[in-house]
Structure 1
Amino acid sequence: MFSIKLLFALYLLQLSIAYDVRYDGFPTGNPQNWGFVNVREGAYMFWWMHFAKNVTLHTDRPIIFWLQGGPGSSSTGYGNFEILGPLDLAQQERNFTWVNTHNVLFVDNPVGTGFSYVDDLKYLSTDNKQIAKDLIEVLRGFYELYPDFKTVPLHIFGESYGGKMAIEFAYELNKEIQEGKIDSNLIGVYLGDAWTSPIDYTLSWAPYLLNLGFVDEDGYQKINNMARRTERVLQQGQYVLATDLWYMTEVILEEEARAIDFYNVQYDIAYRGGISAKTAKQLGSAKARDYAYELMVNYRRLSTSLADEDEETPVPLTLNNMMRNVVHPALKLPEHVIFGSQSGPVFDTLAGDFMKPVVHIVEKVLNETNVKVVVYNGQLDLICSTPGTIKWVNGMNWYGKKQYASATRNAISVNGLLEGYVRKYGRFAMYWLNRSGHMAPFDNPRACSVMLREETNFPSDY
């Protein structure tokens, strides 16, 4: 008789032969694989695929293509270990991981982020369309290794700036599918607390914080004045200056609120003062963007930070430390690839594209393709607040605009608890997620599991 251990070993061998999966490398407890794709000259993108757990045939489950934001925050690091991957930062099993039910493909994007890298900084992406083209190439490289997955339903998820990248990626990918340049079963694109219309979010901060009591009328006026200045220069096409003034708005906001988490206004955060607007102005544009980059990645519920990415000796227990000193050797990655070492330049290189909206791309996807668009937002997010999302969503021009506006907003409940709301029409849906901020799948896994089940038509944890 075969022992249980032998039968399990034969099962793993069968999977490995069929799908070229691996169980070595970083010990996640589920089949996986990873690699680099040379997406263009001097640019290399890293991907890490976690196949669904306890599934005999992985092609029976959809692919979640996960993109983190920043720009410059790692999907294989932050999205994986701090939001929805199989293990958390303490390397403990996460019971609500999306890998329990779906295949999840984490991609470090744009090039220069996480383990993705460029041979020279001149190869960094300068705009959203170049980013979309690079993502098509990494998907093409993935399909070359896994051709059976070309017919598997593909769902592109983008969080924060990742949402801005995701929508253009979906649009460009659909074009290549229609032109016969790539085979892929693209189903939908998901914009999670996404930086889709930057100015709508920036303008929402003052009233949002006033209504919640984080600032008084004087603080409201100061924040709103700088946000309006940002809007004016953006309308004039001064995009780099708009990014600098957006940063200045953040500085004033911090100064007036004293201490607030940009990613979830209810997170505990120690009062740490901040630099004054006058000091910020003296720093100049380059250092201003450096500081803004730190703001974008340094607000965490956990005590982790990517702010030390360029330090030679990372602080213990940070994501950066684990990715460099634990994950890197476990995956046997090349020595010259240093996690996060190019992330700062990634943000700075995209300074001219950072404040540009992509609402028109959302409209194109809805009006010109068969790809569905799902928007979801945590009610406690500040950086991409729900009021800002509602502003650009209601302002879109698409075929179902009137019908969506009159559609019923239904409640989402799990085990008798209200977890949020959803409104749908045609190929568009918006989810309001309760008790969650910017990282909604981490803050409210129950609500996001319902969304995952409804939109991918596959089981989820709740």
Structure 2
Amino acid sequence: MINCSMAATFGIVLFISWVNLLLLLLLSYSVHSRTIIENLPGFDGPLPFKLETGYTGIGERDDIQIFYYFVESERNPREDPVVIWIPGGPGCSTLRTFFYQHGPLKFNYMKSTGKKMMLELNPYSWTKVSNVLYLDTPVGAGFSYARTSNALKSSDTISSKHVYDFLRKWFNDHPGFMSNPVYIGGVSYSGIVVPIITQEIYNGNEAGNKPEINIKGYFLGNPLTDRDIDSNSKIPYAYEVALLSRQLYESAREHCSGDYMNPMNALCARDLDRVEECLKYIYEHHILEPICESSEDEASSPLVLYSLPQPRCREETYNYNIIWANEKDVQRALGVREGTVKEWEQCDGDHYLFGKNDTDTYSYNVASSIAYHRNLTNKNCRALIYSGDHDLVFPHIGTEKWIHSLNLTVESEWAPWFVEQQVAGYETTYSDNNYSLAFATVKGAGHNAPEFKPKECLAMVDRWFSGNSLKWL
């Protein structure tokens, strides 16, 4: 017979076993969870591509939970490259890239209303030729979240380390993709962190970290690379595209000595005021497109979308994303953990502006990533830097300037590249031992080039992934 003492002991052992099992389940839940998405609200029928979403926990006790969207290549997922996409901002959700730049879906504006956002396939998705892993990073962007206030704090270098830690865990959990070539990609502010992440991976491989990531290189669109170079390229670019007069440009250049961000005298300040008057009604992301005339409050209202058959300007289209991502059935379909994000935002308050100080949760501690680019010239590494040539945010002339500072050997001179026998842009290629860099402009594109010229950008990356020249007629 079992006496009371034995029963009590048995009960304690059973209780401890259940506690340990619960802790094990919670630990597993915090490290990684993933969901295969077969249907999404707003899209008719099952998705014709494989979409996985999930969380990967990193940091101390997995206090940082990074949310991701992984789309397998529609061509050959076991051999095509794996692209790790880092959004700009910092603090912008990668859903903006997913729907507006090169993801497999986009909004159907004619069929959408403020009450229901409708989706359709993007025929120029980069998932036609590659696997793409879209990350909500740094922590706090999109559906990523932190479990403690301390874990929410990040910086350029910390967030880059977080991405590397994420990738090591993700590839361990997806061993079928370990042999695929890997490229780190991004746009705008990610021009600061992508070279750092890429260097972290090369350094980790050389140190023997497991798993070894099959890194082949990186690529960037209209990147912020050096605060001084990129900020001071705006006024020369504005002059080159006839937004400023020769007289005003030469006066500003003389009085400001080429430093347009820190006016040191009254004459420079006067000229910059005149420059601002000339540029304040120009849409910086694409100088030929209209700016939104509606107020911020009006533009964010679902009633505006409900009353319009189509957006009036590009900025208004981003409201469709906000409405869709905040729908409860959308978040359930995506596998978002309930209560972790109170309100989904396109970009959080840490979004970078020139001259902005560090925030409570983010430190802009890398002013220039040129040194990281230079370090990568010593690796067996490929790089593609592309610029929409109508971008006033980070104009191509600033990008050309820092590329020139790397002192690489010119392999092919400036020449046009083509899509369907039409000039799609211009390309120059460089090399240094086992390092190669292609710089390409995308004719007629703005700050996020695939958003403006999707067909041309798909052709560009497909040719580059394959190791071919962009030139094809």
Instruction: Pick the TM interval, shorter chain.
Output: 0.7 to 0.9
Change (3 A) 1:345 1:204: closer
> Contact 1:255–1:273 at 8 Å: present in 2 too?
no
Deviations 1:424-460 (A, max 9, x none): 1331111111110111112122332232122211899
Is 2:432 aligned against 1:424? Answer: no
Corresponding residue of 1:365: 376
1:258-277 equivalences under 5 Å are 258-270=280-292
Equivalent residue for 2:178?
150
Q: Is the 8 A contact 1:159 1:194 kept in 2?
A: yes
CA pair 147-351 structure 1, distance change in 2 beyond 3 A = closer
Deviation at 1:62, TM superposition (A): 1.2
Aligned residue in 1 for 2:217: 188
Cα deviation code 1:285-311 (max 9, x no counterpart): xxxxxxxxxxxxxx9725134xxxxxx
Matches within 5 A, 1:72-221: 72-75=91-94, 77-90=95-108, 91-182=119-210, 183-216=212-245, 220=249
- Please give the alpha-carbon distance, in whole angstroms, between the structure 1 residues aligned to 2:390 and 2:223: 14
Structure having the higher strand fraction is 2
More displaced stretch, 436-445 vs 167-176:
436-445
Q: 1:300 to 1:231 in 2, by over 3 A?
A: farther
Work out the CA distance in 1 between the residues paired with 2:350 and 2:91: 8
Give the superposition deviation at 1:173: 0.9
Deviations 1:28-50 (A, max 9, x none): 43111111111213321111101
In the alignment of these two chains, the number of paired residues is: 384
Cα separation, 1, equivalents of 2:189 and 2:90: 6
1:265–1:381 CA contact under 8 A, matched in 2: yes
Q: CA deviation at 1:108?
A: 0.8
| Match in the other structure for 1:8 | none
Question: Equivalent residue for 1:295?
Answer: none
Equivalent residues in 2 for 1:10-409, closer than 5 Å: 22-24=37-39, 28-41=47-60, 42-53=63-74, 55=75, 58-75=77-94, 77-90=95-108, 91-182=119-210, 183-216=212-245, 220=249, 225=256, 228=259, 230=261, 255-270=277-292, 301-305=314-318, 317-325=319-327, 327-338=330-341, 339-340=344-345, 343-345=348-350, 347=352, 348-349=358-359, 352-353=363-364, 356-367=367-378, 369-397=379-407, 401=408, 403-404=409-410, 407-409=412-414
Q: Alpha carbons of 1:252 and 1:341: their partners in 2 closer, same or farther (altered >3 Å)?
A: farther
Deviations 1:269-294 (A, max 9, x none): 145799xxxxxxxxxxxxxxxxxxxx
Does residue 434 in structure 1 map to residue 463 in structure 2?
Answer: no
- CA-CA distance at 1:391 after TM superposition: 1.1
**What one-letter code is carried by the residue in structure 2 that aligns with 1:265?**
I
Q: For 1:73 and 1:171, how far apart are their aligned partners in 2?
A: 23
- Structure whose CA Rg is larger: 2
- The one-letter amino acid of 1:81's match is F
> Does the C-alpha gap of structure 1 residues 262 and 133 become closer, same or farther in structure 2, counting only changes over 3 Å?
same
CA 175–252 in structure 1, closer or farther in 2 if over 3 Å, else same? farther
- How far apart, in 1, do the equivalents of 2:273 and 2:89 lie? 17
**DSSP-derived class of the 1:362 partner:** helix
CA distance in 2, matches of 1:88, 1:34: 18
Please tell me the residue identity of whatever aligns with 2:290: D
Amino acid at match of 1:186: I
TM (normalized to structure 1)? 0.75
Deviations 1:286-345 (A, max 9, x none): xxxxxxxxxxxxx9725134xxxxxxxxxxx53122112153121131122322398214
SS in 2 for 1:79: helix
Aligned to 1:288: none
CA deviation string 1:239-264 (max 9, x = no partner): xxxxxxxxxx9998654423111211
Instruction: State the distance in 1 between where 2:288 and 2:366 align.
Output: 26
How many angstroms does 1:128 deviate by? 1.8
Q: Supply the distance in 1 between the matched residues of 2:365 and 2:453 (Cα, whole angstroms).
A: 28
Q: Name structure 1 gaps, 5 residues minimum.
A: 1-18, 234-248, 275-298, 306-316
The 2-side partners of 1:428 and 1:373 are apart by: 5
Letter matched to residue 402 of structure 2: W
For 1:263, the aligned partner's letter is H
Bigger mean CA offset, 181-190 vs 20-29? 20-29
**Structure with more helix by fraction:** 1
CA RMSD in angstroms, aligned pairs only: 3.3
SS at match of 1:44: strand
Alpha-carbon offset, residue 20 of structure 1? 8.7
Structure 1 residues 252 and 372: CA distance shift in structure 2, 3 A: farther
How far the C-alpha of 1:120 sits from its partner, in A, is 3.8
Larger CA deviation: 148-157 vs 440-449 = 440-449
Given that 1:124 and 1:346 are in contact with CA atoms closer than 8 Å, whether structure 2 keeps it comes out as no
Greater alpha carbon shift after TM alignment, 194-203 vs 328-337: 328-337
Distance 1:330 1:255, change over 3 A: farther
Structure 2 portions without partners, runs of 5+: 1-33, 109-118, 265-270, 297-311, 353-357
Deviation at 1:351, TM superposition (A): 6.6
Quick one: which amino acid aligns to residue 386 of structure 1?
H
2:459 matched to which residue of 1?
A: 450
CA contact (8 A) 1:113 1:346 kept: no
Deviation, structure 1 residue 84? 0.8
Q: Which amino acid aligns with 2:414?
A: R
| Residue range with higher mean Cα deviation, 435-444 or 23-32 | 23-32
Residues 366-402 of structure 1 show CA distances to partners (whole Å, capped at 9, x for unaligned) of 12x11212111110011110111111111124xxx2x
Q: 1:252 to 1:45 in 2, by over 3 A?
A: farther
CA–CA separation in structure 2 for the residues paired with 1:250 and 1:63 = 44
Contact 2:92 2:347 (8 Å CA) reproduced: no
Distance 1:84 1:126, change over 3 A: same
The one-character-per-residue Cα deviations of 1:403-426 (angstroms, maximum 9, x if unpaired) are 22x732232111121101211133
SS at match of 2:340: coil
